[in-house]
Amino acid sequence: MTDDCLILRHDAGAVRTLTLNRPAALNSLTGAMQVQLLAELDAAAADSGVRCLVITGAGRGFCAGQDLNDPELAQGVGAVVERHYLPLAQAVRRFPVPVLALVNGVAAGAGANLALGCDMVVAARSASFIQAFAKIALVPDCGGTWLLPRLLGRARALGLALTGDKLGAEQAERIGLIWRCVDDAALAAEGQALAERLAAMPARALALTRQALDAASTLDWSAALQREADLQGELGAARDFHEGVQAFLEKRAPRFTDR
Ligand code: T3D
């Protein structure tokens, strides 16, 4: 496979889907693939026509994390993480519209945390999540040390990170690691329906909701209340709020445009 189709792009209305495309190696990430993925994320972030981004994988895996055969690793693991994983995790976390991971199969190492860093995760019933890092004597990266305890609490976060055990999609849903687990055959259709719903919602308000929830975990009660007031001040003065209220009063569907 040539290096120019490692990430597939597909637009359906306001939903852009990026598909990790190295199925023979379970979409494990090479340097070239990470460069393409970041470029696609930047392009989608800058495109006002994109109102929801979907990330999924080709073939039977979602993403098996770092490609452990990639010659770039010879330059040092820390350098690879700084060059690729750090900007990748930031790009997803700061994305201006909702990012939905459709986890079609195994998500391991940085592949698991790439998915978990998205705003919502829907997984096929046969999919699984593996914090594979300890098995190769590394710590969780791509945001895993921050995400896991917040999603699961310390006990479960450490249990997964220390053992590297495989967690099935059903259990991942049960313990609150992901939003939903659906039948394999329903993943694409249910994912697209959810993405279209999100795309029709007020993008700026959703992005600030994510920021507010993330920030609140390090704020005290009073500071969180103040932040909510500040954000409502910004959003209340924006077009989307006016449109949402008008649409409600006129008993019609709103047409949100802020981003
Ligand atoms: O730079 C740095 O290293 C720092 C960054 C670290 C971030 C990380 O992501 S560290 C974690 C890296 N990932 C892993 O350690 C996971 C390795 N993969 C696996 O443990 C297993 O493949 C899975 C549990 C994910 C799936 O197992 P299974 O039995 O379903 O599939 P398989 O047969 O192991 O894999 C299928 C093919 O994909 C196979 O190739 P082959 O033999 O058919 O030619 C396998 O080698 C390849 N593959 C899977 N994962 C990777 C990979 N090739 C390169 N790198 C991989 N990570």
Residue 2 in this model has a pLDDT that exceeds 60: no
SS3 190: helix
Query: Residue 64 C-alpha to ligand 1 middle, in angstroms?
Result: 5
Distance of CA 190 from the midpoint of ligand 1 (Å): 28
Residue 46 Cα, ligand 1 centroid: separation in angstroms?
32
Question: Is residue 138 in contact with ligand 1, taking CB distance under 6 Å?
Answer: yes
Token pair recorded at residue 10: 């597909």
| 141-154 average pLDDT score | 97
Tokens encoding 55: 């990330």
Instruction: Quick: pLDDT tens for 53-84.
Output: 999 999 999 999 999 999 999 999 999 999 99
Note the maximum CA span of the chain: 62
Whether the CB-CB separation of 83 and 48 falls below 8 Å is answered with: no
Minimum CA distance residue for ligand 1 atom 19 = 64
Encode pLDDT of 18-46 as tens digits.
999 999 999 999 999 999 999 999 999 99
**Taking Cα atoms as reference points, which of 189, 169, 168, 188 lies closest to residue 179?**
169
Query: What single-letter amino acid sits at 126?
Result: S
What is the predicted pLDDT for the residue at 1?
44
- The pLDDT of 116-143, averaged and rounded, is 98
Cβ of residue 177 lying under 6 Å from some atom of ligand 1: no
40-56 per-residue burial string, b: 16 or more CB within 10 A, e: under 16: bbeebbebeebbbbbbb
Q: Is the separation of the CB atoms in 148 and 161 below 8 Å? A: yes
